[in-house]
Structure 1
């Protein structure tokens, strides 16, 4: 089978679940109409007329019935191929039932003469009704089983069963499939390159747990019991914790995506020019009022009045949320005026320090770009380089954007530092150099604790023991040096 044929078969097999459910539901509807409407009417008329009507109705519905049975059987087999769940084979039970039970009775109805006794006609009609009831029971059973065993968590009862199921049992598979789908959705939003593969068998649960641990580690999950523990997802609480974390992350991702789309579509040159003349405080206050749904304040209102109204509105909204909705703050104590004064001094020192660092880095950047213009082959592209660089350079400023107010807004999630070698961090800095594997190099030493003093270039001199050497102009010392050598 070629790759194209296999891909097409996989797509058709993926739709087997939906086809099996809908065909079963339609079979149930058709069976209910046949039993409680058509057949009930036949039983209240003369036997010979009922037989004629039944034969004509069977001819009209035979094609549709066989088509529905064929769709139900094939889709049930495809769903079993996709999910490896034996309950989907119930969708194929209608085919042998129709061939071995329904068709023989239909053949007897064809050869029944119109002058037959009414008792025989009534008996055949009763047999036909019983057969239709069996067919309806198969359709109802198939639809019920399909609804309960689709592998989807569609109600609280099903969720509770999955949360309490054993890790190595079939009941855990719907939960694993849901978690895999959530990780794939997050990968689609952030393109982190890591997600959990779908599993269709309990033999794949070990690989599922390994992939899940790697994904949570690279994504930056704050729950260490889910990231590093070997017994992750063994209890109900940890499964609910993981489900809550992934669902809230997807909600945040969707909100962030919508927010970025609104900024891109609604941003214009006029609004950009206006924002350049707004102070940081005015811009933040305006964004706060818009987020809280306040109308435009009148011209005569003071900043104190605005802050009072904002405080009341935020207090009302916080009462409707759970206690830890915004996370716990890093600063859990009330600072005195003296402490705030010290914080301002510390902030001033750090501000000046990082401003100097940023000025140095920006100067290095400017000099580096300037050196590119010295090349002979780039002299004709000086203006092009300047325009391309200055469009990005204008957004880089030497002043740090960290303020005192950030201390009050900081939450405990800032304590979770992302590894620089993690997938999330290197996603924006990945280049061809990362594909080059550097082998293990030999240890070249160089540690200060292992250094030894070098040997002396010349031996140390000693004081002579006789005066004769001194009278010969230092000959004694030369003789002593030769003896030492």
Structure 2
């Protein structure tokens, strides 16, 4: 499958004549002699790759494949193909040795390189290492695999370069264009971001060469951040951004309420439209979102730690306004001092539980025990005797205060008659 994919990519990059010939040969099937077909494929790919070495002739290629690693031209071609692939792909292995010095170490390098490239030909990566690349067929397979892999890598690299052409309405392009405008870089006719960044870099170096060495200052952050540290700083910045967004929303709401209160006066009510026309554009320009990012931390210099007083002359140049010069007259005293407030009137005594011990005397002057039938006089009601609404007419009820205790007196008419008798 990998070889078929590479052939598809190969066909897309060949000239029209070569692509037609390759398509015809593929549709016809392999010509007599597999060696000749493989040699033709290798020559096609080498020519498309821009190879200018001595093995562009079929006879020279056949002889080099027969000699294998003992052929200097074959070894140099393998080294050239390996170096081109390594420059385009992130590979650890490489092919650098020459076969004439040490064939075994050269074969080890090729074997390791092919394994990292996931070569599908088992005869090139398995078996006794001394027996590999001794056959002409195996050498041609090696060249075919390396050349097609190189061609596929080049195609993918070109596609990545094409992806750098961004839409002029994209956010990234707009940001880079702002940088160019700030530095005075001429506007580019293309939207190639790497090209624009190279122009920005050249302009920055040119500007720095014309200023003093300490003009920019030393960075406040003097260490190189790792990916883990950068990720942690992003989380801290997100938390602080949420906190300050809440504060900014509160300040903006206070601003809205304050301006709204200005319109309550009779003089301001007739100028509501004028106030809104002046205030609303400036109000909508305020955003609760913060614009501080990790880039501000990286760009911060040591002079950022110097705190300038808000009342200093340089700070007041941008914060002073005409309202600061308005003097307010005397205003009436609104009071509110605790020592000048009169205490509230005393509260009514709370309801308390009746204490045992009898009530006051009556009906004969003798202050005997409480309750009915006790020594004569007024009869006090115990806890269980409740005066209910809609009591009988024959009962006379009296409620009065006695020593801050509410006393309910109930006298039965029959008892009064008996006393008279």
Task: Pick the structure with greater CA Rg.
Answer: 2
TM-score (normalised: structure 2): 0.34
TM-score (normalised: structure 1): 0.30
Larger proportion of helix: 1
